Amino acid sequence: MVELNIKERLQQWKNENPIRKYRKESGLSQPDIAGLIGVSTYTVQRWEDGSVSPSGENLKKMSKLIDEIEESLSEWKNNRPTL
């Protein structure tokens, strides 16, 4: 088995983001999700790359789209690759 370098592991981790997975599986774009939640596309990009997490009202809105989003995001964040 070939071991992935940190850049590849990080990209793989980002692809597992529950928001990104939901969006891709639903055939939605980042602007689509942004419009549904009422945030900027940049905000959705930052949620997907793990820079920030939706909080407060945005998390509540997101939970209407994605079942158990809070737990899924927490678990995803805890699995971030390290050097």
pTM of the predicted model, to two decimals? 0.86
- CA Rg value for the chain: 13
- Residue 76 CA to its chain's centroid (Å): 8
Give the chain's mean pLDDT.
92
Whose tokens are 């998390």? That residue is 59
Q: What angle, 0 to 180 degrees and rounded to 10, lies between the N-to-C axes of helices 41-49 and 30-37?
A: 110
Residue-wise pLDDT tens digits, 30-45: 999 999 999 999 999 9
Supply the pLDDT for residue 40.
Answer: 98
